[in-house]
Structure 1
Amino acid sequence: MWIIGLCTVAVLVVYLTYWLNKWSNPKCNGVFPPGSMGLPLIGETLQMTVPSDSLDLHAFIKKRAQRYGPIFRSSLVGRPIVLSTDLEFNHYIVKQEGRLVEIWYLDIFDKFLGMKGENRISAVGNVHKYIRSITLNHLGADSVKEKLLPQMEEVVNKTLQTWSSKPSVEMRDAASKMLLDFSARIFCSYDAEKLLQLKLSEKFANTLGCFMSFPLNIPGTTYHKCLKSQKEAMSMLRKIVKEKITSPEKRSENLLDQAIDDMEKEKFLSEDFIVQLLFVILFASFETSVSVLLALKFLAEYPAALQELTVYELEAILKRRENPNSILIWDEYKSMTSTFQVINEVLRMGNVSPGLLRKALKDIEFKGYTIPAGWAIMLVNSAFQVNPNTFKDRLQEFWSFATNDLDPLVVSKNFMPFGRGIGLCSGAEYIKAFMATFLHVLVTKYR
């Protein structure tokens, strides 16, 4: 019996050794970028999810870039991935969308939305073109100019008035709710009071924790709790979509109504797809609240920037008006040079995303390395945006774009808060306009 037991143990040891070696050295038709795959299944997820107490590059990325170089491999959330702080490689990849790579949103995100096949939100081709078209139509510069700007000022006025009447405000929750309620109103004409009853912002907040948690769907885990909140949020959005589909008389000219009308001419558009689209767009708006928080933090810490913004720009706009109480107009918005500098600094130093995510459609050859098809790629643009060699240790100086005559080409290459090429965020103008309006009302009417 002891011989049988010894043989069994030997077989298990050989199998585990083979499996561990296969995990640590996956197949590649060339030379892998250096790095480590971490523990089996878990990879290096735990190290990546350790919270950072600095606006500098995350310690996980900084340590590995110093050890392995600007392009290295790892495994995060169950997915083999290449991370890049290489400027040349990142610019190359963003130009290859639809050819060598496609936009990727984490497997967890796809599972959340039930994304499958060519009709998923992240698909290239007609699906991607349609999403860009419909979002630009409702969030682009023309829409901001013609109708959104006064609506933004109205909601910011009401929100700040409410905040000022309270002894204290939990800013993350309050800012998230402000942005989500406004976005839901303009995207699907849904009443803010109904959203309050549904507690949609609470569901989105609870969903956030899942995206860098290990996908273990067992009661008590972070992933399980987030999945429950996500299902509740999706159920609420489905109810809104169904209500619109079955009540044509309630439709207007918002994004949701256009998507429903387009169902007759676009084959990939279905009720499920529209619910997914609504979730993704609202989630992106919800996450913009981080930028509002950082704007408040920076202006409180840098009085010179606050004075420049208040006295020489935003109060000057009021003085030029015949009626100081009139609403903000497009020409005034476009003249806010210092305001845009504040927004740029907020986006540069506190980018919401740790990087742009892509997935390799084919084997990619670059600088002697091979990235296999199917692997994920994270373009760590924040590495350039906080690079002291470019921005002269701007972690200590906030006002860099205002006080330095940086070459525009240098800025364009090292500052990509909204992506680049066809990956450029179609809601960029919408985000900047909301932040500019928020700052305009805040510094001219409140302390």
Structure 2
Amino acid sequence: MSTAALCVIALLVICISSWIYKWRNPKCHGTLPPGSMGLPLIGETLQLIIPSYSLDVSPFIKYRLQRYGQVFRTSVAGRPVVVSADPEFNHFILQQEGRLVESWYLDLFAKVFKQGENRPDGAYIHKYVRNLALNHFGAESLKTKLLSQLEELVNTTLKTWSCQDSIEVKRTAATMAIQSGAKQMFSYDPEKSSVDLTEKYINFSKGLLAFPLNIPGTAYHRCLQDHKKALDVMLEILKERRGLADDDHGDVLHHIIQDMKTENFLTDEFVVQLMFGLLYVSFDSLSTTLTMAFKLLAENPFVFDELTAEHEAILKRRANPDSPITWEEYKSMTFTLYVINETLRLGSVAPGLLRRAKKDIQVNGYTIPAGWAVMVVSSALQLNPNTFENPLAFNPWRWKDLKVNDISKHFMPFGGGMKQCAGAEYSRVLLSTFFHVLVTKYRWKKIDGGDVVRSPMLKFRKPLRIKISEKHI
């Protein structure tokens, strides 16, 4: 028995050792980039999620870039990943969508958003969704219709904020972003809805990166429940609108309902997931960017003074100071765009952009095996001292002298390549309009909070609160 037991133990040791060796030395038709696969199954996930209380690149990525160079390998949540801060390689990868790489999402995102399934019509569907977004949120729609609507939204929002003792910027900005986006997408009226979409989206966002334990009481369970409730609201609206004989709201949903007659992929489930996803992207990015802007402007009064001067000059050029913003005035807000760009540069919400290799990819003498994930580290590019002098400083004036090539390869807050966000201009217009109304009609001061933490997503350790009041001229 003892001999048999020793044989079994020896066999187990050999199997485990072989498994660990294979984990640490994955198969590759070439030479893998330098790095470590970490512990079996969990990889280097624990090191990645250690919080950092700075706007700088996360210590996990920064240390490995210094040790291994601009391209290294790791493993996150059991998935092999090649991380790249090489601007030329990143630019190349983002142009190879559908050829060398495809979109890839963390498992929780893929499960919730129904992503990651290889569909033969995937390229066609992506093109449809992009054209849909550009049609309703692109420059032409902004110029002819949305600019005036966004100004009205901002006026109403800031008027409401000024009537309160103080406001929590991220939450109230999220409400503005969701109500604006939902109105454009499916004519949502929060006063007529029994479900608070803002609350559902905020809870969903908090739980999406939580440990995936789907039992009552956990953040992940609440995330899934709130996701379902939001989808139910949208499904109810979709069914109601499809039953109307004369449905001409002029919103995104009306467009989709017309296309459902000819496009087989536009099922009820797909449509509500699409609307939920589009609204999620705009809500999270806009609320975080606006919170970052308030934080940075409060800490840099000279920037705020320059921003105010630009918008007061616009008022002086008008025959009637109370006239609404024109498209020409928006295009003249040069310094405002610098402020927005600088806020986006410093405030990268996610650590990077994810793709998956469809076939072996060669980079700098190394091979990225097919099936491996590739993470383009946008935060490292946007905080690169070789491109942005004193990169952690909030300096909007730097954008005056930056070269177009440097911007295209080192600044990607809205993604890059074929997957660049179709709502980028919409975000810029909304933020510019918000700043215009804010600095010309209101005064504000920071009350508390606003310190950041990366873990690895950018969050706020304590909610930023401000007090806002109308200017009395």
TM-score (norm 2): 0.88
Pairing 1:372–2:369 present: yes
Residue deviations 1:227-281 (CA, integer Å, cap 9, x gap): 2332232233222222222334344221122112112222222111111111110
Deviations 1:46-105 (A, max 9, x none): 222233311111111111111211111112233221111111110110111111112223
Kindly indicate whether residue 334 of structure 2 is the aligned counterpart of residue 341 of structure 1: no
Aligned residue in 1 for 2:467: none
Q: Which position in structure 1 is the counterpart of 2:281?
A: 284
Q: Is the 8 A contact 2:360 2:367 kept in 1?
A: yes
Partner of 2:86: 86
CA distance in structure 1 between the partners assigned to 2:270 and 2:191 by the alignment: 26
Structure 2 match to 1:100: 100
Q: Counting strand residues as a fraction of each chain, which structure ranks higher?
A: 2
Aligned to 2:26: 26
Amino acid in the other structure paired with 1:117:
E
For residue 415 of structure 2, what is the amino acid of its counterpart? G
Deviation per CA, 1:100-121, whole angstroms, max 9, x where unpaired? Answer: 112223222121133463459x
- Count of residues in correspondence between the two structures: 442
Equivalent residue in structure 1 for 2:433, among 437, 440, 444:
437
Cα deviation per residue 1:194-236 (whole Å; 9 max; x = unaligned)?
A: 45x4122222112223444443434554433322332232233
Q: Which residue of 2 aligns with 1:145?
A: 143
Task: State how 1:327-338 maps to structure 2 within 5 Å.
Answer: 327-338=324-335
Query: Please, which of 173, 177, 180 is the counterpart of residue 182 of structure 1?
Result: 180
User: Taking every aligned residue pair, what percent have the same amino acid on both sides?
Assistant: 52
Q: Which structure shows the higher helix fraction?
A: 1
Query: What residue is the counterpart of 2:229 in the other structure?
Result: 232
User: Of 359, 362, 372, which residue of structure 2 is paired with 1:362?
Assistant: 359
How many Å separate the matches in 2 of 1:45 and 1:111?
A: 19
Q: Distance in 1 between matches of 2:151 and 2:166?
A: 22
Does the 8 Å CA contact 2:214/2:221 hold for their aligned counterparts? Answer: yes
Q: Closer, same or farther in 2 for the Cα pair 1:9/1:233, shift >3 Å? A: farther
8 A Cα contact 1:175 1:289, kept in partner: yes
Partner of 2:406 in structure 1?
410
Residues 76-85 or 343-352, more deviating: 76-85
1:103–1:194 CA distance, 2 compared to 1 (3 A):
farther
Taking the aligned partners of 2:359 and 2:407, their CA distance within structure 1 comes to 31
Instruction: Tell me the equivalent position of 1:215.
Output: 212
Using the alignment, how far apart are the partners of 1:119 and 1:179 within structure 2?
31
Counterpart residue number, 1:426: 422
- Shift of the 115–411 alpha-carbon distance from structure 1 to 2, 3 Å rule, reads closer
- Distance in 2 (CA, whole Å) between partners of 1:129 and 1:206 is 30
**How many angstroms apart in 2 are the aligned matches of 1:18 and 1:239?**
54
Q: What is the CA-CA distance between 1:438 and the residue it aligns to?
A: 0.7
How far apart are residue 185 of structure 1 and its match? 0.5
Could you say what secondary structure the match of 2:402 adopts?
coil
Instruction: Kindly indicate whether the alpha-carbon contact (under 8 Å) linking 2:105 and 2:115 is maintained by their aligned counterparts in 1.
Output: no
CA-to-aligned-CA distance 1:160-181 (integer Å, 9 cap, x gap): 1111111121111111111011
Residue type of the alignment partner of 1:358: R
Distance in 2 between residues matched to 1:60 and 1:212, nearest whole Å: 18
TM-score (norm. length: structure 1): 0.93
From the superposition, tell whether residues 216 and 29 of structure 1 become closer, same or farther in structure 2 (CA, over 3 Å). farther
Q: Secondary structure at the match of 2:260?
A: helix
Contact (CA 8 Å) 1:100, 1:362: kept in 2 or not?
A: yes
Instruction: Output aligned runs, 1:246-261, within 5 Å.
Output: 246-261=243-258
The 5-angstrom pairing of residues 187-202 of structure 1 reads 187-195=185-193, 197-202=194-199
Unaligned runs of 5+ in 2: 444-473
Distance of 1:20 and 1:445 partners within structure 2: 64
Higher mean displacement: 42-51 or 92-101? 42-51
Alpha-carbon shift at residue 334 of structure 1 (Å): 0.8
1:21, 1:380 → 2: CA distance?
28
| Alpha-carbon distance in 2 for matches of 1:206, 1:212 | 11
- Between the aligned partners of 1:44 and 1:230, the Cα distance in structure 2 is 29
Say which of 387, 392, 416 aligns to 1:390.
387
